Structure 1
Amino acid sequence: MGNQKRFLWFIFIVLFSPGIEPSTTKEVIRVPVGVVLNLNSSVGAMAEKCMTMALHDFYAKHAHYQTRLSLLTRDSKNDVVSAAFEAMHLINIENVSAIIGPQSSAEAKFVIELGRRNHVPIISFSATSPSLSPSHSSFFIRTGFSDSAQVEAIAAIVGAYSKWLEVVLIYEDTEYGNSLIPYLVDAFQKVGARVPHRSVIPPHYNDTEILKELNRLNSTRGRIFLVHMTASLGSKLFLSASKAGMMTEGYGWIVTEGLSTLLDPVGSRTMDSMQGVVGVRPYIPMSKELEDFVLRMKRFRFRKSSKITGVNLFGLWAYDTVWALAMAVEKVGTASRVDLASLGTGDRGQNLLDAILDSEFEGLSGNFRLVKGQLEASTFEVFNVIGGKERIIGYWNQKKGLSRKLNGAAELDKRKTLEKPIWPGYTTDIPPTKKLRIGVPLKKGFYEFLKFENNNISGFSAEIFFAAEKKLPFSLSYEFSAFAGTYDDLLYQIHLQKYDAVVGDTTIIANRSLYVDFTLPYSESGVSMIVLTEDSERNSVWIFLKPLSLGLWLTTGVAFIFTGFVIWLLEHRENTEFRGPPQQQLGMIFWFSFSTLVFAHREKVVNNWSRFVLIIWVFVVLILTQSYTASLASMLTVQKLQPAFTDIKEIQRNGYKVGYQNSSFIKGFLMEHLNFDETQLVPLVTIQDYHNALSRGNKNRVAAILDEVPYLKLILKKKCSKYTMVGPTYKTDGFGFAFQSGSSLVSYLSSAILNVTQDKNQMDKLQSTYFDYFDNQPACEDQSAKISSEGPSLGVYSFGGLFIIAGVVSMVALSMYMYHFLCSHWPALRTISSSESRFWEKLVEVAKHFDKKDLTSHQFKRRESRVHALDTPDEGLAAAPGANDMQNNSAGTHIIVENNLGHE
């Protein structure tokens, strides 16, 4: 009876079992496929079970296929060498057509190389490390998501909470953990966050070592942590974090998909310690097939294993991988119409690889489609661990970013993109980063720029900081702390991480930028020098010479002499007032030209060319005298201040003392760049110290003070009648705020400073603030009108045109006169030139000829007519008594006149 029951049961299985074909079915082709997994892990056990079910389900649905996969499973024992050995055995001994696995990224790295050399496709659903790229190995296929696919979703979460400017990374020291970090850092930088600290935890760390590392992180200012680990190490981490008190209010934790129960289930104890954690994981669309699969997984087991607690994403990917491989094997076998085993290894592997890459179907995990050799990432869901469960609070995809609903529209307000998560400590308040520790220089002077009092700051630098802070897209939490020391020492405290930032009138210079980052400058730049001014012009006995420069004095003198000489040449032969002894004529040349300076000349000119020259010259003299008078009047009525020193090298050469602002970088600048000796330098603190140091009679008097332009302008505003800014301006970049190197606040605050300067309303407020601190001082007269380092002397260039016109007119008149002279006396001159005398003798003869009176001139003809009138007797007097006597007298007079004319 029992045998009959067994026989009937066998017949039932043969006829109705979908996995077994009747004996009449055509013989199928068995295709060996290797499987390398860590069977002692929950992921490995789950994957093996899912692949077995996948084979059963696939061929139940495709019973007519001529090919059948034969899975040869091997245990890697979580060892790289074992995984490589098993893969090599499967390729060389079992002659497998493909290998599914290995499970970890470290194991897959070696097996992928074996597949490339032997042209055997290596298909991994769990080696998610971005360092393993199908584009780098032609025979590697990833049927899961790369870890890098989730970084944008994680960065979007960080960006949604704008207070999170710093995120601490905690990851395991494996291929899986290390390879994702560069992608995370780059993604955080795009949303304005930075990674100030990292913690690398090896897989072999025990609870004590993990707790020690967590206490170290807790001592920093980091309060937002991102954990990238597998479930085995992550479970120990969160249990230790709970013991360290880091799972309480004020802390924020984010996990990658590796710590989601959808990928690798963790125990209930671990879930209890992860309360308030936020994470991302791939979104799996629910379908009827998936629901049926989950139910069957609970009832149907091929192998008992305590490690299998439910269905995870790796199991679904393993299931879909078997389906894709079975479809590809059938496609290659049908196309070749021969047994796959008869194909060459290279052809078989390449054809199978191409067929897998072309596969596309709707699997349990969603749409199965390979892009560039790996499963195309689609949507991620954001979960929040609360009450021992993962509550979905939002979604992320490439097109819309974060949103509360799966198909909801993208929210413009970042605060509404996710449902409010419950953070550690069972609070909905967003965990903030620690307060910024801002160092402030403790100044004893120049309070207009910065003043620290009662833990508050004021002054121009403070107003700039507060105005820029209001422009930030988030609220900034900070506390001020005074520092008594040099500015360089204060900035170095940032490098030592005792301060997070420095707010004050800190100058941006190159050597400081080596250990801190500065914002954009908010003040004008440069280092210059102020010196005492002196009024030296009005007390000078030679002030009357100041209006004209030395060159103009000499040029004017030469012009006077030249003009007098030209007038003498034009008048000498015709005008008796320009004749006489040589010394008389020489004096006439100087007298006549210089007398025109005050228009006091009394000599008449008879030549028209002389009159023409004299008209132009009088105009020149008029311009010169008026200019001289105006300049001299200005010197005598307006105070002219001159700097006591204008050259820093002169001060250094003479060993004079130089002042500088105490605690600033100017001391090092003077010693290193300008080569001053330290004994020449005098530290100053307040504006009154500056005034005392520059005052006469002070035993510590300095020749000059070097400081930054904003400080010097403030001093000049108060004491502009006594000091002046001289010398070159040495380049600096102005004042800025300092932060730790790599701080994301630098870019935020720099943008805010730009926004402040470009906002008209804000600029009006800042200008008002600037007026309060700098311009709200007793008004001084225009100092630029008082200070003159070289005097306002008039130069030759200013009157060059006048002198050129006068010179040209004089030369033209003289040339025309000489031409007329040569033409009218050419017979006599030709006789002289044709003589055999020497040149100098001829020249003397010509000069003598020129020296003779021109009796044909109008003046001499008029005088001669008067003389002849005296020589002719009146007819009425001839018959009168004594007429002869009168005639004799007239003759005598005539003789006298002739004699006088002959001596002229």
Structure 2
Amino acid sequence: MKDNEHVVGIVGAIVDHTSRIGKEEKVAMRMAMEDFYSITNQTLILHIIDSQRDPMHAALGAKDLITRQQAQAILGPQTWEGTSLVAKVGSENRVPVLSFADDTPKWATEVWPFLVQASAANTFYQMKAVAAIVQDSSEWFRVTVIYDDSDSSINEVLPQLSSALREVGTEIHNLVPLPPFVSFSELSEELERLKNDQTRVFVVHLSVPLALRFFEKARELNMMEKDYVWITTDPFTSLVHSFNASTISSMQGVVGVKRYFPEDGPRFRDFYYRFRKRFSSEHPEEDHYEPGVFAVQSYDAAWTVALAMNQSSKLLDGQNLLSKILQSKFDGLSGKVEFNTTVDQKLPPAQVFQIVNVVGKSYRELGFWSEQSGFTASLGENAKNSSSMEVLGQVFWPGAPRLTPKGWTTTSSNNKPLRIGVPSLSNFKQYVNVEEDYDSPNNLSFSGFAIDVFKATLEELPYDFPYDFFPFNGTYDSLVEQIHLKKYDAIVGDVAIVARRYRHAEFTLPYIESALTMVVTVQPETRNRAWLFMKPFTKSMWVLIALVNVYNGFVVWFIERNHCPELKGSVLNQIGILLWLAFSTLFSLHGDKLHSNLSRMAMVVWLFMALVITQTYTANLASMLTLQRLEPTFSDIGVLRSSSAKIGYCRGSFVQRYLNEVLRFNLNNIKNFSSPDDYAKALRNKEIAAAFLEVPMAKLFLAKYCKGFIRVGPTYKVGGFGYVFPKGSPMLASVNEALLKVFESGKLRELEQGMLASEKCEGMEDGDDETTQSLSPNSFFVPFIITGATSTIALVFYLCRVYKSMFGHKNLIWRLEMAVIKGRFSRRASGLPETGTNIISATLNSSDSNSNILV
């Protein structure tokens, strides 16, 4: 400052002198004032006070800056707690306050109109960047969030993070609030609890001092090792450039999200070198001197105030100064500075974030993320964008694995295998069978289709899945509830996927088809015996036979009618003869009565066809008369319900509720059974009229009892059978993927066919399952084509000959008429008498005596 006439304003600043952020802000603001003087030769007086990390002390300092130091604008503080108090003081005194706090509430400027947010930080986009990192792994379905419970911004951070994670198919599994002055013993207890949990993906949103203590303790408990994932947020990540070697060593493998600001260009490079030199001289206790985002944003804020104060040659009042500040528009070190004057008086929110990876003695800048472009290794028009972090190159995770960590574990820290419950009261032992086996460790053996499919699924998992089976003697509903009570880690068996069970657990994909069907006994068919003679052929076959018969009869009648007087007569008589001729060919040829070779040809082919049809009809009718025809005792569920007949279902299953509430059967008419033999006995003794089984069980039942029972009626869609896991289990996605591989490899079909083949049908004999079916025109397609074509060809040939004969007949008549006329003129000329005999004779002599009009 040269003299007072060059002073254009007084600026106050509130920073935390003991923090790295405060130290960077002080140096940067002083540099801004000096740079402004060197360019404009105008002096701004800067008064900086220490907030001492106390919001109340910051408010008192603001009051002192305004009243005693005559400050016209205030820069800071860094926290929202301090900002809210300072903004109140500033608005009461009409002094603009440029806050560095992250994400001030939207209502803040309505309450304190002189508050301006000079930080471009934006929690919403930052949480989306965190969610994008989580989405990069297909196995990170649950995360644990660790946060500072003294941070008032957490009320916005958590909802935004939860929403962003849900968009990528992940949920917050656990929230861990930590007080700012938590003791090391309390921190150890909390970390031990997290270590025993299955989820190993952690999002850390802590203040710098608390985060440093947290990671130090996590390293001591071996939680910075393989399979762990640590993701940090601002403001902690934005200070990673300032951490010493000891701090960095406890954070190996951490991936962080920090605000991006451009570090290229001559202006920033000049600022960078001057900042390092000045910072090292003022704060030699620091290990690193590079400026971060807090330095550049405070530099831009100070420059904004300086430009606004320089707009007038005389001192501005508070309202005019606020207007000049909000009208600022220039390219600063942190990016474009241009306030939103219509809504909340903020800088445009940062939408580009830098992804860093702590490794070795420092950190690596992997690349960038933005909502528009996703991940990219560099910024620019030719940059390669991707939704995957693979475009950023190799990421070094905790424990230095080259593959992305699972982010969860199947076992707790004491390496105990998972406890898997198995229903021991399964009605169909082919699916789940629990037996005593003194050769096994727990004297029990577990077998069946459900067990086999589960073991095949585990073979497709890319990691070990230690487990132990435990039998459960109870209903399926109570078994699923054990998951919620944490008695079991999973359930394997013939457990139906039912909506109400989702209150306690989640299910894998159904490993077997899902439907409910009805099984009833069969009885000899008694209906429509009077029309049994029609059964050998289908209706379409009978219609086609009649049409072809009539057509062939018409062709023969048409060709033979001029040779046989009995084929003539009245129209009604000729129709009767035609029909008689058509259908009598099925039994006799009448070949000796036919006069034309064309009609004989059509009749012979049709006789062959008639012989094939009559012999086939006889054979099929005989088969139907000798084989017993069976029909279900009930085929309509409505009739079954109205008859109040008893029905059966599997004990312990959900079917009883479905039969009563959905299909409307009376509870008194519903009985439960515990084995296929019980079903068969009850159905045969007419104790029940029908049994309602899930389709997989019905297949097994009919494979064993293939005679005397049948599936009838519609099938009712239900959930099928699945394996059960706790709600939000990180294993569920991997198990589903492995289960799909079992489907696609054909292994599931092989296991199911093996299970059904092991059930030998009781009393089954060769041919017992054969049925005689009515024959359709498809069985006689070629003979019908041949006989139809033959008759048509004969008819066409006959019509051609008739046409030719008719044409010759007309020519002869014309010649006779001309001859008569000519003879009359000749006789008159010669004086001879005209006689018709002479004229006709002369005409016939001159004509072709072989002409004939008949065929």
Q: 2:673 aligns with which of 674, 680, 683?
A: 683
Unaligned runs of 5+ in 2: 341-346, 412-417, 536-569, 587-613, 774-855
**Quick check: 1:141 aligned with 2:120?**
no
Deviation sequence 1:35-90 (CA, Å, 0-9, x none): 2334454433442343234323432x32434xx33334344443444444554665
**Alpha carbons 1:438, 1:503 under 8 Å: kept:** no
CA positional deviation for 1:171: 0.9
CA positional deviation for 1:390: 2.4
| Cα separation, 1, equivalents of 2:89 and 2:723 | 56
Structure 1's 544 and 374: CA in aligned 2 closer, same or farther, altered over 3 A? closer
1:295 matched to which residue of 2?
277
**Alpha carbons 2:25, 2:299 under 8 Å: kept:** no
2:98 matched to which residue of 1?
123
Give the root-mean-square deviation of aligned CA atoms. 5.2
2:145 matched to which residue of 1?
169
Q: 1:352 aligns with which of 325, 339, 351?
A: 325
Q: 1:723 aligns with which of 682, 689, 709?
A: 709
**Alpha carbons 2:427, 2:674 under 8 Å: kept:** no
Deviates more, 1:27-36 or 1:269-278: 269-278
Q: 2:44 aligns with which of 39, 54, 69?
A: 69
Q: 1:530 aligns with which of 498, 514, 519?
A: 519
Q: 1:55 aligns with which of 33, 43, 46?
A: 33
May I ask how many residue pairs the two structures share in their alignment?
Answer: 675
For residues 752-791 of structure 1, the aligned pairs below 5 Å read: 762=744, 767=749, 770-774=752-756
| Cα separation, 2, equivalents of 1:656 and 1:763 | 45
CA positional deviation for 1:227: 1.3
CA positional deviation for 1:230: 0.6
**Alpha carbons 1:142, 1:375 under 8 Å: kept:** no
**Alpha carbons 2:368, 2:378 under 8 Å: kept:** no
| Cα separation, 1, equivalents of 2:694 and 2:99 | 65
1:222 matched to which residue of 2?
199
Partner letter of residue 79 of structure 2? S
| Cα separation, 1, equivalents of 2:219 and 2:464 | 28
**Quick check: 1:391 aligned with 2:363?**
yes
> Counterpart of 1:195 in 2: which secondary structure?
strand
Structure 1's 45 and 369: CA in aligned 2 closer, same or farther, altered over 3 A? same
**Alpha carbons 1:369, 1:376 under 8 Å: kept:** no
CA positional deviation for 1:229: 0.3
Deviation sequence 1:778-797 (CA, Å, 0-9, x none): 79899999799xxxxxxxxx
Partner letter of residue 297 of structure 1? F
CA positional deviation for 1:349: 1.2
Q: 1:106 aligns with which of 81, 86, 96?
A: 81
**Alpha carbons 2:142, 2:728 under 8 Å: kept:** no
**Alpha carbons 1:671, 1:678 under 8 Å: kept:** no
| Cα separation, 2, equivalents of 1:177 and 1:715 | 59
Partner letter of residue 183 of structure 1? Q
Deviation sequence 1:534-564 (CA, Å, 0-9, x none): 2264xx9x96698899xxxxxxxxxxxxxxx
Structure 1's 147 and 650: CA in aligned 2 closer, same or farther, altered over 3 A? closer
| Cα separation, 2, equivalents of 1:320 and 1:477 | 55
For residues 563-602 of structure 1, the aligned pairs below 5 Å read: none
| Cα separation, 2, equivalents of 1:307 and 1:64 | 33
Partner letter of residue 164 of structure 1? W
> Counterpart of 1:382 in 2: which secondary structure?
strand
| Cα separation, 1, equivalents of 2:384 and 2:124 | 25
TM-score by length of 1: 0.62
Structure 1's 321 and 219: CA in aligned 2 closer, same or farther, altered over 3 A? same
**Alpha carbons 2:12, 2:74 under 8 Å: kept:** yes
**Alpha carbons 1:526, 1:731 under 8 Å: kept:** yes
> Counterpart of 1:99 in 2: which secondary structure?
strand
Deviates more, 1:747-756 or 1:144-153: 747-756
| Cα separation, 2, equivalents of 1:457 and 1:396 | 52
| Cα separation, 1, equivalents of 2:238 and 2:534 | 96
**Quick check: 1:711 aligned with 2:697?**
yes
| Cα separation, 1, equivalents of 2:205 and 2:429 | 50
| Cα separation, 2, equivalents of 1:668 and 1:187 | 39
**Alpha carbons 1:459, 1:773 under 8 Å: kept:** yes
Deviation sequence 1:117-153 (CA, Å, 0-9, x none): 877543233x224756999998532334334444344
Partner letter of residue 30 of structure 1? V
| Cα separation, 1, equivalents of 2:448 and 2:338 | 61
2:6 matched to which residue of 1?
28
2:478 matched to which residue of 1?
489
Unaligned runs of 5+ in 1: 1-19, 550-607, 789-904
Deviation sequence 1:648-698 (CA, Å, 0-9, x none): 67777887654322332224434555455479523324x44433443449x
TM-score by length of 2: 0.65
Deviation sequence 1:468-509 (CA, Å, 0-9, x none): 996x9x868574645524332333233334555545543332
Q: 1:320 aligns with which of 267, 282, 299?
A: 299
| Cα separation, 1, equivalents of 2:431 and 2:518 | 19
CA positional deviation for 1:294: 0.8
CA positional deviation for 1:360: 1.0
| Cα separation, 2, equivalents of 1:352 and 1:529 | 79
CA positional deviation for 1:323: 4.4
| Cα separation, 2, equivalents of 1:525 and 1:656 | 26
1:78 matched to which residue of 2?
53
Structure 1's 478 and 662: CA in aligned 2 closer, same or farther, altered over 3 A? farther
| Cα separation, 2, equivalents of 1:100 and 1:51 | 9
CA positional deviation for 1:427: 6.3
| Cα separation, 1, equivalents of 2:204 and 2:679 | 57
| Cα separation, 1, equivalents of 2:215 and 2:534 | 90
Deviation sequence 1:433-461 (CA, Å, 0-9, x none): 11275846346564655678989977379
> Counterpart of 1:359 in 2: which secondary structure?
strand
| Cα separation, 1, equivalents of 2:769 and 2:453 | 30
CA positional deviation for 1:732: 1.9
| Cα separation, 2, equivalents of 1:243 and 1:490 | 40
> Counterpart of 1:258 in 2: which secondary structure?
coil
**Alpha carbons 1:438, 1:500 under 8 Å: kept:** yes
**Quick check: 1:441 aligned with 2:422?**
yes
Partner letter of residue 684 of structure 1? S
1:514 matched to which residue of 2?
503
| Cα separation, 1, equivalents of 2:253 and 2:684 | 69
CA positional deviation for 1:290: 0.6
1:601 matched to which residue of 2?
none
CA positional deviation for 1:418: 3.7
**Alpha carbons 1:278, 1:385 under 8 Å: kept:** no
**Alpha carbons 1:660, 1:706 under 8 Å: kept:** yes
For residues 632-651 of structure 1, the aligned pairs below 5 Å read: 636-646=625-635
Q: 2:254 aligns with which of 267, 277, 284?
A: 277
| Cα separation, 2, equivalents of 1:727 and 1:410 | 56
Bigger-Rg structure (1/2): 1
Structure 1's 216 and 716: CA in aligned 2 closer, same or farther, altered over 3 A? same
**Alpha carbons 2:80, 2:104 under 8 Å: kept:** no
